[in-house]
Amino acid sequence: MVWAAGISDRGWTPDTGISGMPILLKDNIETADMPTTAGSLALVDNAPGRDAPLVTRLREAGAVILGKTNLSEWANIRSNNSISGWSAVGGQTLNPYDPTRTPCGSSSGSAAAVSIGLAPAAIGTETDGSITCPASVNGVVGFKPTVGLVSRTHIVPISHSQDTAGPISATVEDAAIVLTAIAGSDPLDPATAEADARKVDYRAALDANSLNGARLGVMRFLIANYSAETQAEFERALTNLRAAGAEIVEITEAPENYRQIGGWEFTVLLTELKHDLNLYLASTDPDQVPTRTLAEVIAFNAAEPRETVLFGQELFERAEATGGLDDPAYVEARARSFQAAGPDGIDRMMADNRLVALIAPTTSRAWTNDREDEDNMQGSASRLAAVAGYPHLTVPMGFDRGMPVGISFMGGKWDDARILSLGYAFELRTRERRPPALAGLQPSS
């Protein structure tokens, strides 16, 4: 944790719901009583004395905000060579299963804290994989909601098209409890206009039998990218899903334009970063945050050796060179990326195969922090749901060489309750989570 608030002595169990639940927050989410740094020394004094709306919702529901967690600085958008879980403010977050391996990011501290039991739940944020990847490699549950279900106001941004906050937790039930509290419309965030009408009691919607009769689509076109061990764990998960009554449908062909989504997404993220971060910085107190624009943050980093000791800021520099939200290249990239990931991607795969969800391994086992070796990330399922803005849940499914790996459940827009319920049923049947001290035990099924 980077900053800590007062800790309540009230007891908490899942039976009490959110009331009394200890919760940690990623250090890009504003609170009235702690600074919000996004891991950057440029924001080290950023304490405007306001709660993000999701924090207000947590407090009003009775949650206890314990403090803030470290993250990949600027949520991993500063450099292609950034190190997950490292920030100039917080240092390096470690993976509790093996400190020589990555905690992934950018919600690294939130996932590691839940993994070692500092809190039953934490809030992370995701633009593409920043909740689901760290949750998976730290052996916990992570849920990226539909974009627009949870307010982004007073959260240090990357992209208004793809950013969302969401829970990282010890169980799916805990994630559902937290999501019920933080979901809802915010007049300052137009993306959430439908949230009040769409939200439900996500915990009450959990059904232990939801897999029975459910048609699940395996995104087989992704699977070859994963290690043999992770593939084996996924096949074992499919056996458990079938035993629970699920019907497994193989999807061997990637959606049209799937391989072009990454390039379009990159254009969108860099363009929106400049626009959205400038708006955020303008909302802070100039006495606390002298850097008022992305250009001034770039200049600050260039003059501050502690910021660039491990990697540079070439993505910031490329974002600063973008042409704005009216740039035809940006407008086309956003339209094409969303169409390919959403209507022509997740929506079409689900409709054509009459599915209730799509599944795949979330990502590989945690890779090492050594850039010189060949142990690198192998496989990721996050892009389609991230670019479309659709819900994505990861649940522990087993271990690859002693490191946890997760299974992903994804659905269409506003399918949050169903996706959580499917993951809940899988979790209850398999109980694959092993805290770090117990990771060497054999799988339960």
Pairing of strands 121-126, 22-26: parallel
Cβ 405 vs Cβ 439: under 8 Å:
no
Cβ 377 vs Cβ 363: under 8 Å:
yes
**Location of structure tokens 């997950």:** 84
- The active-site residue out of 26, 68, 144, 413 is 26
Cβ 406 vs Cβ 132: under 8 Å:
yes
Cis-peptide, bond into residue 445, ω within 30° of zero: no
Cβ 390 vs Cβ 413: under 8 Å:
yes
Q: How far apart are CA 148 and CA 133, in angstroms?
A: 21
Contacts of 60 (CB under 8 A, 6+ apart): none
- For residue 281, which of 270, 292, 273 has the smallest C-alpha distance? 292
Backbone angles phi, psi at 318, to 5 degrees: -70, -35
- The active-site residue out of 40, 87, 110, 130 is 130
Q: How many CB atoms sit inside 10 A of residue 299's CB?
A: 13
- The active-site residue out of 72, 87, 106, 185 is 106
Residue 93 buriedness (CB in 10 A; 0-12 / 13-18 / 19+): buried
Catalytic (active site) residue 161? no
Q: How far apart are CA 270 and CA 324, in angstroms?
A: 10
Catalytic (active site) residue 108? no
- For residue 412, which of 106, 146, 212 has the smallest C-alpha distance? 146
Q: Token digits for 282?
A: 């303008």
Pairing of strands 91-92, 403-410: unpaired
- Three-state SS for 382? coil
Q: How far apart are CA 408 and CA 30, in angstroms?
A: 29
Q: How far apart are CA 136 and CA 195, in angstroms?
A: 27
Q: How far apart are CA 258 and CA 201, in angstroms?
A: 34
Q: Token digits for 190?
A: 């137009």
Which residues have a catalytic role annotated?
Answer: 26, 106, 130
